[in-house]
Structure 1
Amino acid sequence: MSQILMDVTDGSEHCCVTQADSSLQRSVSDHTKTARMVREQYFTTTDESGALAPITDYIYMIGIYGWRKRCLYLFVLLLLIILVVNFALTIWILRVMWFNTEGMGYLQVNEDGLRLEGESDFLFPVYAQEIDSREDSALLVHSSENVTLNARNANGDVTGSVSVGPSQAEGFGQHFNISSNHDENVFYADVNGAVVGKGKLRVTGPEGAIFEHSVRTPLVKAVLNKELKLESPTRSLSMDAPKGVHVKALAGNVDVTAHFDIQLHSTAGLLILDAESVRLPTLPVGEARTSGDSQGMYNTYEVCVCPSGKLFISRAGVSSTCNERQDC
């Protein structure tokens, strides 16, 4: 082909044909080398003895080699170490927390809720609908600072609270009610006042009870074989009742002591002293006056007693003048 082109073309064309021929030869040479490399890479020839033919330098290495391979092995080893450490930590946590089929240690999970045996410490607030103790033991709530129980409504606002601190106990709510085991009202308090329910209010302190204002009660009674004392050290003491005031001592005395005067008033009735004897032991004894002292005689009275026990006074004379008065 090269020879024919050289015969029909001039000198200038001869150069172009020569260059094309050279390019064609290089292309054919490259294809030949590529085919040889592929053939030497994927095919091997054996001689009659079965020995493999020598591999040429044109074989391509397939895979990860060098520093990439070492980094891959190191990464796999690191993952294996992390897996072993995680497995060991999981076993340790299960061992420490006492996980079992019923729950976790003393904490058991059942259909009714959670059951906790022994003592427990809570570091944060506990929200529960109901907390019960075992049937054979009491429920003890202990804190180094205070114990607070809050009740909230649907909006989350606190409607009732009970707080027991190291020095005082406080309660917050609209009503405060204490009932007996028979569902009887024992004590009730609200903004209007406090009511003691069925039974009686008993004060056993050595100083008794101190009231800053009035007290309304149908009966004030001392403990058996003890004295009952009503005292107002700096103010007055008044006892009022629409149907009468009855003071009675079954096995002792009734003592009324005052720093100044004791006055007994009856606006529309009688003053009755019913006893075996009525004594006035410290009455002053008057001095005898002369017959000429008529002014002193007019200022002197005598006490007269009727058969019914009524007392009245009559102006004193030389002799008794009680018979002259008919006030009985």
Structure 2
Amino acid sequence: MVREQYVTATEESGSPSPVSEYIYKIGIYGWRKRCLYLFVLLLIIILVVNFALTIWILRVMWFNAEGMGYLQVTADGVRLEGESEFLFPLYAQEIDSREDSALLVHSTDNVTLNARNANGDVTGSLSVGPEHAKAFGQHLTVSSSTDKTLFYADAKEAIVGTGKLRVTGPEGALFEHSVETPLVKAEPLKELRLESPTRFLSMEAPKGVHVKASAGNVEAHSSLDVILHSTEGLVVLDAESVRLLNLSEGKARTSGDSQGLYDMFEVCVCPSGKLFLSRAGVFSTCNESQEC
């Protein structure tokens, strides 16, 4: 504060007396000063709080020279220890687990893996949900550790590359169309059944069809006809005994003395291939029957 005084002399006494006084105050006073102090105090409080929060975040997130807590930045990429939760999509070129542990991807809804091309279009997708697993792509390949194809499927065909395909379901395997395989075999001590409930069952092979039962019977059941057909060879039934059950008995056209001589029958074959029984006589009685 500076005070300036101007002094003038009176005519009567001759002593100087102040005529006027001017005071100039330099600085901030009053409510402005209080607001300034309050603002400075507020800035100090904010600075202290920010500094404390920064220290707390560094402490909680475990920031260090190598990374952040369990997250370490290496020359090969980023290494993350322990369990992690991602709230948004994760974009990565490769995800590997530790050598002594498995990689577990868990979600409360579903887990979806997408592969995109340079234009951003999805070219392959794998989605695993609580009720279904769905894969999308041009083809699906399952390989072994030796890079051998175990399973391959595309829009045209499906290939099983293993030496043995085992179906363990109690109802077996259902094929809507034809099946090409070199061998169909049942498990030990279990029966093998080839069944077509509403249509026909056909087995074809350029060099023959071999049906073998090492410790049981071979049975063929049909509601209509069972046809054994060979285009260039024979149909051979090789066994100690061949039984043709429930053959019809032919009726003779005329009653002759040869009919009924013996309580025996002979098997007759018609030109159409039909088999029937005819009561045996001294000579053949097949021609006397009305079955053909």
Same-fold call, TM > 0.5? yes
Return 5+ residue gaps in structure 2 as ranges. Answer: 8-19, 260-264, 270-274, 286-292
| Equivalent residue, structure 2, for 1:127 | 91
Structure with the higher fraction of residues in helix conformation: 1
Write the deviation string for residues 3-47 of structure 1: whole angstroms up to 9, x where unpaired.
xxxxxxxxxxxxxxxxxxxxxxxxxxxxxxxxx94999xxxxxxx
The CA distance in 1 between the partners of 2:196 and 2:245, in whole Å, is: 27
Instruction: Give the counterpart letter for 1:291 in structure 2.
Output: G
Cα distance, 1:321 vs. partner?
Answer: 4.8
The CA distance in 2 between the partners of 1:206 and 1:134, in whole Å, is: 40
The CA distance in 1 between the partners of 2:230 and 2:22, in whole Å, is: 142
SS at structure 2 position matched to 1:216: coil
Instruction: Give the counterpart letter for 1:220 in structure 2.
Output: V
For 1:158-169, list aligned pairs within 5 A: 158-169=122-133
Cα distance, 1:92 vs. partner?
Answer: 2.0
TM-score (norm 1): 0.70
| Equivalent residue, structure 1, for 2:256 | 291
Select the structure with the greater relative contact order (CA < 8 A; seq sep ≥ 6).
2
Return 5+ residue gaps in structure 1 as ranges. Answer: 1-35, 41-55, 295-300, 306-311, 323-328
Structure with the higher fraction of residues in strand conformation: 2
SS at structure 1 position matched to 2:59: helix
| Equivalent residue, structure 1, for 2:200 | 236
Cα distance change of structure 1 residues 259 and 60 upon mapping to structure 2, 3 Å threshold: same
Instruction: Give the counterpart letter for 1:213 in structure 2.
Output: H
| Equivalent residue, structure 2, for 1:319 | 282
> Does residue 227 of the first structure (1) align with residue 191 of the second (2)?
yes
For 1:190-201, list aligned pairs within 5 A: 190-201=154-165
For 1:273-284, list aligned pairs within 5 A: 273-283=237-247
Cα distance change of structure 1 residues 68 and 285 upon mapping to structure 2, 3 Å threshold: closer
| Equivalent residue, structure 2, for 1:71 | 35
The CA distance in 1 between the partners of 2:171 and 2:90, in whole Å, is: 42
The CA distance in 1 between the partners of 2:281 and 2:111, in whole Å, is: 86
Instruction: Give the counterpart letter for 2:283 in structure 1.
Output: S
Cα distance, 1:287 vs. partner?
Answer: 7.8
Cα distance change of structure 1 residues 71 and 266 upon mapping to structure 2, 3 Å threshold: closer
> Does residue 202 of the first structure (1) align with residue 145 of the second (2)?
no
Write the deviation string for residues 45-80 of structure 1: whole angstroms up to 9, x where unpaired.
xxxxxxxxxxx9545333333333222222211111
| Equivalent residue, structure 2, for 1:60 | 24
Cα distance change of structure 1 residues 110 and 268 upon mapping to structure 2, 3 Å threshold: closer
For 1:249-260, list aligned pairs within 5 A: 249-260=213-224
Bigger Rg, structure 1 or 2: 1
| Equivalent residue, structure 2, for 1:178 | 142
